[in-house]
Amino acid sequence: DSNWYLFNDEKVAISQNPPKLLGYVYLYERCYEPEVSEETEVSEETEVPEETEVPEETEVPEETEVTLCED
């Protein structure tokens, strides 16, 4: 659908300012397992309203420190 999406552990939203000149894909691995109680309700799908405000993307410095997960 020609849209860019922001994905993180809390939400998925359409990017209002997509990085059009970059050719990178960033993949992240969760280093921890969140605690889930038996009372936690899990929905099949989470809808994000169109009017959801998405913060502007910030420029990533050339030298960015990366922390790797240990197996």
pTM of the complete model beyond 0.75: no
pLDDT at 60: 54
Considering only residues 60 and 69, tell me which one the structure prediction assigns the higher pLDDT. 69
Mean pLDDT of 11-36: 74
pLDDT at 70: 67
pLDDT at 61 over 60: no
Distance CA 21, CA 16 (A): 15
**Rg value, the chain, Cα:** 16
Cβ within 8 Å of residue 22, ≥6 positions away: none
Mean pLDDT of 9-38: 74
Binning pLDDT at 50, 70 and 90, where does residue 10 land? Answer: confident
What sign does the CA torsion over 26, 63, 66, 16 have? negative
Domain ranges within the chain, ordered by starting residue: 1-71
